[in-house]
Amino acid sequence: MFIVKVKSKAIPDTGYSLLAENIRQQPASRSIRNRRSRVHQSGFTLLEITLAVAILAMMSLAIFRFVQSNLVALRVSSDVSAADARYDGLRDLLMAEWQSLPPVRGKMTGEPFKLNDRQRDQITWSCSAGPGLLTRYAPGEFRVSLRLQPDDKKRDRLDLGFLRKPKDDPGIGHENETWVPLIKNVGSLQIQYFDPGLRTWVDRWPNKPPPRLVKVIVGRTDAAVPWEAIIPLARTPLPWTM
């Protein structure tokens, strides 16, 4: 039996092993690059973040200005409505008081006054406890005047209100007078009376029974147009027209 020994020769490397190694390593490196590119694409740059913050800031400022303007408009509207309600209440109060005056005892006197080019008329009438006195428990008869009077704290400001004094008070001072302010800070007060005999408005009313109509004009400091009300002293409308 013969044994033959064959000497093996080293096969030279032709580059296939390196190619195979590169092929084995290529999917891993490609996947890493793909992940890096996806991470890079899914993030935001500093410029994009800055633009987003700027847009949010402008939107917030616009919303703030819109809400602020609406709040100011609501506050102004509320103040105007409150002022109008006070004047409406004054009209209802004068109508209720003057229509309740007795035709004989409820004599009315009106005099025009002016101070520093500001109309400061005054109207006075006699009444008992009721709306004119703003109380129901005052005994006796009183003289009530609708007039302007300087404010206690701000002397340059005039308030509209009732000045009340007992009718039989012999004193000439102001000890028994009481002042009830109705509307604060008014500009002027003008009162006119409709004379049915003359069929026109007059500025003065003598001491006699109340007229049929009284026009009250109040200059408002919070509005350009003065407040005006024509108050009928008779409950039944008159057949004639002005």
Exposed (0-12), middle (13-18) or buried (19+): which is 239, by Cβ within 10 Å? exposed
Q: Residue 2 domain-assigned?
A: no
Whether 204 is in a domain gets the answer yes
Radius of gyration of the chain (CA): 46
The answer to whether residue 108 sits within a structural domain is yes
* 216 inside domain: yes
Share of the chain above pLDDT 70, in %: 72
Q: Which range among 58-62, 85-89, 189-193, 220-224 has the greatest average pLDDT?
A: 189-193
Q: Is residue 187 part of a domain?
A: yes
Q: Is 86 left (phi over 0), alpha (psi -120 to 50) or beta?
A: alpha
Q: Residue 143: is its pLDDT beyond 60? A: yes
Compute the Cα dihedral for 202, 204, 208, 214 and give only its sign.
Answer: positive
Residue 169 lies in a domain: yes
User: What's the pLDDT at 241?
Assistant: 40
- Residue 29 within any structural domain of the chain: no
| Mean pLDDT for the stretch of residues 9-37 | 54
In the chain, DSSP finds a helix count (H) and a strand count (E) of 2, 11
pLDDT at 2 over 70: no
Asked if residue 29 has pLDDT above 60, the reply is no
Task: Give the whole-angstrom CA distance, residue 182 versus residue 89.
Answer: 9
Instruction: Indicate whether 39 belongs to any domain.
Output: no
- Structurally, the chain folds into a number of domains equal to 1
Residue 31's pLDDT is 58
Per-residue pLDDT tens digits for 62-107: 888 888 887 777 776 666 677 788 899 899 999 988 888 877 666 8
**Domain with 200 in it:** 104-232
The answer to whether the CB of 113 falls within 8 A of the CB of 126 is no
> What DSSP line would sit under 149-197, residue for residue?
EE-SS-TT-EEEEEEEEETT----SSTT-EEEEEEEEEEEEEEEEEETT
Determine the pLDDT at residue 69.
Answer: 81
pLDDT at position 238 is 44
